Amino acid sequence: MGIEEQIRAKAAEYSDYTAKNLSKMVQVKSYSGQEEGVCRLIVDLCKEANFDEVYIDDLGSVIGRVGNGPKSIAFDAHIDTVEVGNMKNWDFDPFSGEIVDGLVKGRGTSDQEGGAASMITAGRILKELGYDKEYTCYFTFTVMEEDCDGMCWKYLIEEENFKPDLVVSTEPTTCQLYRGHRGRMEIRIILRGISCHGSAPERGVSASYKASRAALAIEQLNKDLQPDEDNFLGKGTITVSQMDVRGPSQCAVTDYAMLYCDRRLTWGEDADLAISQVTEYVCKATGDKPEDIVVEMPNYEKTGWTKKEYSQELYFPTWKIPEDSMLVQAGVRAHKALFGKAPTVDKWTFSTNCVATTGRHKIPAIGFGPGDENQAHAPNEITRVKDLEICAAFYAMLPYSLSK
């Protein structure tokens, strides 16, 4: 029996095991910055799977290892989740982890503790097969991604000097092979008016009206943005996500306005370009000079469950790698060996930790994960048990495929 048949058989044998491990994770609430319980659980599961090493870094992420080769690959899953939102939109307990009709149900099943469960099974398979090829296989179960994607990896690379040669994100891809996604950033705009009594508004300058014009200017900017040259990632986008307008009283013309924007960045766009575009469009709409307004990129600061303080600017660079690159082609070979056909090669719509590993630090990365992108942050979140099995097999096969 060839290695691909052995891996496929073991992934099928451990299908229930993988699903039950995911169910256990779902039952432990793990909002961003509150992941201690699920991290402790994952440590135990990795030890149970006989990983060569497992530890928790100072920021709270769990790092597991199988093998000891001269090269390294990291399979990454963030194990924090968003909150559940309005419970009236759920048809079942979001923390039940119920397994029924080939599905695992609950918050985090697709986004993205399903990937974490498949990673643990892959590590177990590699250990049982006595994997001793050229790659050290790391399995990273990372924190605070939902609040600040990539910060956990920025910390690992820049503070702990942990920089693998290759990365696989296990965010949901419907078991397709992804090779990039748009970046993103957050932009805050502050506009000033001149207050006066509301009975004579002509004496003042309304920040409310400036904000309204600015919001329409951002709408126009979104229409004017262009796709990347090969149209793989598509066009960038920008939208006003929050507005706050204030004055000294309810009977006064407003003198302060804040607009908060979500900006998605396609290939070739960066923070400097995005800031300059917003400045140009807003000033044209409001009549302000650039020095009279504030257009800035805020900073993210939060203390994790280990009480470690860390921060970064809210900028998450775009990334993609060529379809003919070594890593993508190894992924294609692994998929063909296991399932007899090439995978669909595509991209994410949303953003992942690869903004740090690949966008910032240029480590080649691909994505392959269980579950569907449209399940992310949605009520009644589910993932398929079969997806978990497929991904466990793919993760175990990829290091062998890379060695060919």
392: domain CATH number is 3.40.630.10
198 plus 175 within the same structural domain: no
Helix (H, G, I), strand (E, B) or coil at 246: strand
Q: What whole-number distance in Å separates Cα of residue 331 and Cα of residue 39?
A: 28
Which residue bears the tokens 């204030």?
Answer: 246
pLDDT at 404 over 80: no
177 plus 32 within the same structural domain: yes
State pLDDT tens for residues 267-284. Answer: 999 999 999 999 999 999
pLDDT of residue 373: 95
pLDDT of residue 71: 98
205 plus 130 within the same structural domain: no
310: confidence class by pLDDT, cuts 50, 70, 90: very high
Q: Count of alpha carbons within 13 Å of 30, Cβ hemisphere only? A: 33
Quote the domain boundaries for residue 387.
Answer: 3-181+318-402
- Mean pLDDT value of segment 172-199: 97
220 plus 72 within the same structural domain: no
- Mean pLDDT value of segment 299-318: 94
State pLDDT tens for residues 124-165. Answer: 999 999 999 999 999 999 999 999 999 999 999 999 999 999
- Domain final position from 252, 270, 301: 301
pLDDT at 191 over 80: yes
pLDDT of residue 177: 98
pLDDT of residue 215: 98
Q: What whole-number distance in Å separates Cα of residue 47 and Cα of residue 70?
A: 23
Count the domains in the chain.
Answer: 2
**288 included as an active-site residue:** no
Choosing from 57, 80, 146, 186, the catalytic residue is: 80
Instruction: Compute how many other C-beta atoms are within 10 angstroms of the C-beta atom of residue 55.
Output: 11
41: confidence class by pLDDT, cuts 50, 70, 90: very high
pLDDT of residue 1: 77
43: confidence class by pLDDT, cuts 50, 70, 90: very high
pLDDT at 388 over 90: yes
- 20 located within any domain: yes
326: its two tokens: 């070594």
pLDDT of residue 302: 84
- 309 located within any domain: no
Q: What whole-number distance in Å separates Cα of residue 356 and Cα of residue 181?
A: 12
139 plus 195 within the same structural domain: no
Q: Which residues pair with 166 in a beta bridge?
A: 73
State pLDDT tens for residues 206-238. Answer: 999 999 999 999 999 999 999 999 999 999 999
150 plus 7 within the same structural domain: yes
Q: What whole-number distance in Å separates Cα of residue 89 and Cα of residue 99?
A: 20
99 plus 233 within the same structural domain: no
**83 included as an active-site residue:** no
- 396 located within any domain: yes
Sheet containing strand 71-78, strands side by side: 53-56, 62-66, 135-142, 71-78, 166-169, 365-367, 177-178, 345-346
pLDDT of residue 154: 97
- Model pTM? 0.94
Beta strands, E only, 57-109: 62-66, 71-78, 99-100, 103-105
- Mean pLDDT value of segment 337-364: 97
301: confidence class by pLDDT, cuts 50, 70, 90: confident
145 plus 9 within the same structural domain: yes
Choosing from 57, 76, 145, 149, the catalytic residue is: 145
8 plus 152 within the same structural domain: yes
Angstrom distances, CA of residue 193 to CA of 155, 240, 242, 284, 297 = 40, 20, 19, 16, 22
8 plus 78 within the same structural domain: yes
pLDDT at 324 over 90: yes
- 260 located within any domain: yes
Helix (H, G, I), strand (E, B) or coil at 149: coil
3-state secondary structure 186-234: EEEEEEECECCECCCHHHCECHHHHHHHHHHHHHHHHHHCCECCCCCCC
